[in-house]
Amino acid sequence: MRLSLFAAAASLMLAAAPAAFAHAHLKASDPAAGAKVAPSTSALLLTFTEAVQPKFCTVTVLDSMGMNAEQGAPQTVPGHPNELSVKLHLQMAGKYTVDWHALSVDTHKTHGKFSFTVTN
């Protein structure tokens, strides 16, 4: 009986272990990686697999000339602590590169890079 209780407890701990080591991975973005968008696109939305700490997150959006296209720091979306939004000012057609760094609420850091294209 004691052995089966120990086995059940061990199984529960192992099942819960992945949650303890979770990170805020990028789940989706709008515009999406590889997307073609209009110059009127006014914001970038990043959706993560868990809540993030916006004060410790950065999002840089550069055009093909290396000029910044983001306006201001990323902000969480009210009611959606796993989403970051940053205002965009897309001045010209071409490839834009997004470089993001996130800190999840459980203090794990993640980062990544992708691009999208602005068309006329």
Beta-carbon contacts of 117 under 8 Å, excluding residues fewer than 6 positions away, are 34, 35, 36, 37, 93, 94, 95, 96
Give phi and psi for 49, each to the nearest 5. -75, -10
pLDDT score of 120:
86
Tokens describing residue 61: 């959006």
Residues of the chain short of pLDDT 70, as ranges, are 1-21
First-last CA distance in the chain: 71
Are residues 113 and 95 in contact, defined by beta-carbon separation less than 8 angstroms?
Answer: no
- Report if residue 31 sits inside a domain: yes
- Tally of structural domains, the chain: 1
pLDDT score of 26:
97
Each residue's pLDDT tens digit, 30-46? 999 999 999 999 999 99
pLDDT score of 5:
45
- Residue 114 maps to which CATH number? 2.60.40.1220
- Report if residue 37 sits inside a domain: yes
Question: In terms of residue numbers, what domain contains 48?
Answer: 23-118
